Amino acid sequence: MVELWNLLKQGNKSALLASIINAVISIAKGVAFTLTGNVAMFAETLHSIGDAANQFFVFIGSALSKKAPTPRFPNGFGRLVNLVLLAAVLVVGIMAYETIVEGYHHILHPQESTGFIISVGVLSFAIILEAFVLFKAMKETLHEVGIEAKGFGIITKSIANVNKAKAATKLVFLEDSVATGGGLLALAAIIISHYTPYHQVEGIASIIIGVLMFIVVGKTFLDNAAGVLGEADLTLRSVIGDIAFNDPGVRDVQEIAVLKEGDEYHVELIVEVDPSITVAEADDIKDRLEDRILRENGVTDVIVEFDEDDNLPKWEESKTTK
């Protein structure tokens, strides 16, 4: 239990916060739907339930992925977060399907909803909370990629760098972007339906919300399927290759691999050195490289191997070719 508690403390805080808030929101929306029968509210209720369950699983997965390697699993549990996210998107996919089906039925058989004030009040409350979670996810994104921003720059820079964030943070960012936008869409549909005879708009809004949910499902599935298979980070590979190449004791970089394991990066590289150097000098080079590479965000493991310089440039040529 002590080990589990320590792991949970390392779980993704954005996912936990989002899960709690979405659970509260889903209860409020569910009560509002029961009282009003509003189809757009039904879509938003399912959306929030899916998000709450999804983000809770993400929190658990991100925590368990921090478990130390064992003799049975010597490579650690980093990819566990990707497996959990693949399972979690199934929940969102089911909710998205139900949302679209309900919206379609409402378009065929439109009915005027009741409880206009209740629906508007609950949705306005939900939008404020979801926007708060989204803003926290934006700040967490910037923290993970090492970028500072203030004011409106938090929004623009987080959107530009969300693909560099950890898998759990990225999912919260995407889900709450859709949740906030979907809430605004549902609110607009309710207002239009109340003041005009065009009640089908609630069904249309429900279908659009469902489609947006499916987009999140597709994006999350593709990202985490790559993570489960073992995805190389070519951008970080280039950065680390330059670090090694610019070391005074390194003549060339022969091979380099940067593999993403969950939220962590494992680096293996072979560098070419002067064949006449001593073991002590080679050890100094190894220590310098490991120390410098481990300072890169997310890198937790570095393996450095040596080969004698063959006077054939490889690293610069590989960059030119690319």
Q: Where are the domains of the chain?
A: 2-229, 234-321
Rg from Cα positions in the chain: 25
Task: Note the pTM of the prediction, 2 decimals.
Answer: 0.73
Residue in this structure with the two tokens 């469902």, named with its chain if needed: 210
Phi, psi of 127 (to 5 degrees): -60, -40
Residue whose C-alpha is closest to residue 220's, from 101, 57, 77: 57
Strands 299-308 and 264-273: parallel
Those residues with Cβ within 8 angstroms of residue 118's Cβ, 6 or more apart along the chain or in another chain: 32, 35, 36
Is 150 in a helix, a strand, or coil? Answer: coil
Distance CA 305, CA 282 (A): 10
Residue in this structure with the two tokens 């909803």, named with its chain if needed: 113
Residue in this structure with the two tokens 């679209």, named with its chain if needed: 100
CATH architecture of the domain with range 234-321: 2-Layer Sandwich (3.30)
∠ CA 202-205-206, nearest 5°, is 85
Those residues with Cβ within 8 angstroms of residue 165's Cβ, 6 or more apart along the chain or in another chain: 140, 141, 144, 145, 173
What is the structure's pLDDT at 5?
74
Mean pLDDT by runs of 10 across the 322 residues of the chain is 73 82 89 83 81 82 80 78 80 84 87 82 90 90 87 90 82 85 89 89 89 86 80 87 92 90 85 92 94 89 91 75 50
Residue in this structure with the two tokens 């009003």, named with its chain if needed: 36
Q: Tell me, what DSSP letter sits at residue 165?
A: S
Name the class of domain 2-229: mainly alpha
Q: Tell me, what DSSP letter sits at residue 68?
A: P
The torsion of the CA quartet 120, 122, 128, 134, rounded to 10 degrees, works out to: -110
Those residues with Cβ within 8 angstroms of residue 150's Cβ, 6 or more apart along the chain or in another chain: none
Q: What is the token pair recorded at 195?
A: 């003041």
- If one counts every other C-beta atom within 10 angstroms of the C-beta of residue 190, the result is 25
Q: Which amino acid is at 75?
A: N
User: Is the CB of residue 170 less than 8 Å from the CB of residue 163?
Assistant: yes
Residue whose C-alpha is closest to residue 43's, from 109, 90, 95: 95
